[in-house]
Amino acid sequence: MSKCLASDAFNNFDINNSSIANNEIHQGGPPRDGIPSIDEPVFISANHARHLKAQDRVLGLQRNGISKAYPISIMNWHEIVNDEIGGEAVVVSFCPLCGTGVAFAAHAAGKQLSFGVSGLLYNSDVLLYDRETESLWSQLLTRAVSGPMKDTPLKLISLEHTSWANWQKRHPHTLVLSTDTGYSRDYNRDPYAGYEDSKGIYFPVSHRDPRYHPKERVLGVEIDGQFKAYPFAELSRTDGVIQDQFNGKELVIHYDRASHSARANDATGKPLVGISAFWFAWIAFHPETSVFKAP
């Protein structure tokens, strides 16, 4: 395939040096930046977040002594927020198709990067791109897959996917991403209504596994290159605090049934990076994953 043809077929990104198969990269529908990232986020206090109800879903980030909540109702429409927290540049991303919220440090290979939505997918998961080099980055592979930054990793930051009530209770001084985004969107409407309950997957994935409903939510963790999934269907059969050992490390998984959320700590109580994802997405990227089973 010529460079010109590859560029035209993939929203004008050059994927000739891609580390993933070109035929596994799919156009999601909207063009490059057709889903606009939020580059100048506005935050309000929890007391002023009257647009949020207790059960509403948020991505919660605590870092550098600051807590922030990013409502899923906003992330559904934008997928990426280029932000800073305590003076540190970060990018918060959400893929509605995979149910995955992932945060990264916005520095890589000595460059500060700003990210946008490419309009392309790999394993049904969003491919971000950086505006500085136009490299494509896989959210769940957590590295660049094409362009000048190919194979450069992104530093993961611990992020929780939970309910607004749960996050606000534990972080009463949290800031909240405002609906004042600079874009005209109906943030009261869920453009993916019904998707989470269905078995349907809109785009091809490289591996499937029928052990759980495709949209079963799991908490996925990585320890030194090994992966493990904690399905909520299994966690719900425990008392909510699971002491586990994986790849030589002690883990404590906290599951909260009321908020339908889970998070991971190490043996000292320090938060670990855990990715809340639909089962089909986690297994597509990590077919070799270990899976927690309730006793």
Question: Could you tell me if residue 204 is inside a domain?
Answer: no
pLDDT for 9: 74
Q: Which domain holds residue 48?
A: 30-170
In this structure, are 62 and 134 located in the same domain? yes
Can you tell me the distance from the alpha carbon of 274 to that of 284, in angstroms, rounded to the nearest whole number? 17
In this structure, are 51 and 141 located in the same domain? yes
Question: Could you tell me if residue 71 is inside a domain?
Answer: yes
Question: Could you tell me if residue 259 is inside a domain?
Answer: yes
Q: Which of 170, 185, 202 is the last residue of a domain?
A: 170
Can you tell me the distance from the alpha carbon of 122 to that of 139, in angstroms, rounded to the nearest whole number? 9
In this structure, are 163 and 57 located in the same domain? yes
Question: Could you tell me if residue 180 is inside a domain?
Answer: no
In this structure, are 43 and 160 located in the same domain? yes
In this structure, are 35 and 101 located in the same domain? yes
Question: Could you tell me if residue 222 is inside a domain?
Answer: yes
Give the strand order in the sheet containing 115-122. 25-27, 115-122, 125-130, 136-138, 143-146
Number of domains in the chain: 2
Q: Which of 162, 142, 158 is nearest to 56 (CA)?
A: 162
In this structure, are 42 and 119 located in the same domain? yes
Q: Which of 170, 188, 209 is the last residue of a domain?
A: 170
Give the helix/strand (H/E) hosting 62: strand 57-63
Question: Could you tell me if residue 278 is inside a domain?
Answer: yes
What SS3 class is residue 121? strand
Q: Which of 135, 170, 205 is the last residue of a domain?
A: 170
Question: Could you tell me if residue 240 is inside a domain?
Answer: yes
pLDDT for 1: 36
In this structure, are 163 and 42 located in the same domain? yes
Give the strand order in the sheet containing 249-256. 241-246, 249-256, 261-266
Cα–chain-centroid distance for residue 83?
15
Q: Where are the beta strands (DSSP E) in 106-205?
A: 107-108, 111-112, 115-122, 125-130, 136-138, 143-146, 156-157, 160-163, 175-177
In this structure, are 132 and 263 located in the same domain? no
Query: pLDDT (tens digit, 0 to 9) for every residue of the chain, 295 residues total?
Result: 334 434 567 999 999 999 999 999 999 989 999 999 999 999 999 999 998 999 999 999 999 999 999 999 999 999 999 999 999 999 999 999 999 999 999 999 999 999 999 999 999 999 999 999 999 999 999 999 999 999 999 999 999 999 999 999 999 999 999 999 999 999 999 999 999 999 999 999 999 999 999 999 999 999 999 999 999 999 999 999 999 999 999 999 999 999 999 999 999 999 999 999 999 999 999 999 999 999 8
In this structure, are 54 and 162 located in the same domain? yes
Greatest CA separation for the chain = 57
In this structure, are 48 and 157 located in the same domain? yes
In this structure, are 158 and 225 located in the same domain? no
In this structure, are 34 and 110 located in the same domain? yes
pLDDT for 5: 39
pLDDT for 8: 64
The two three-digit tokens of residue 134, written as one number: 């136009």
Can you tell me the distance from the alpha carbon of 102 to that of 156, in angstroms, rounded to the nearest whole number? 7
Question: Could you tell me if residue 181 is inside a domain?
Answer: no
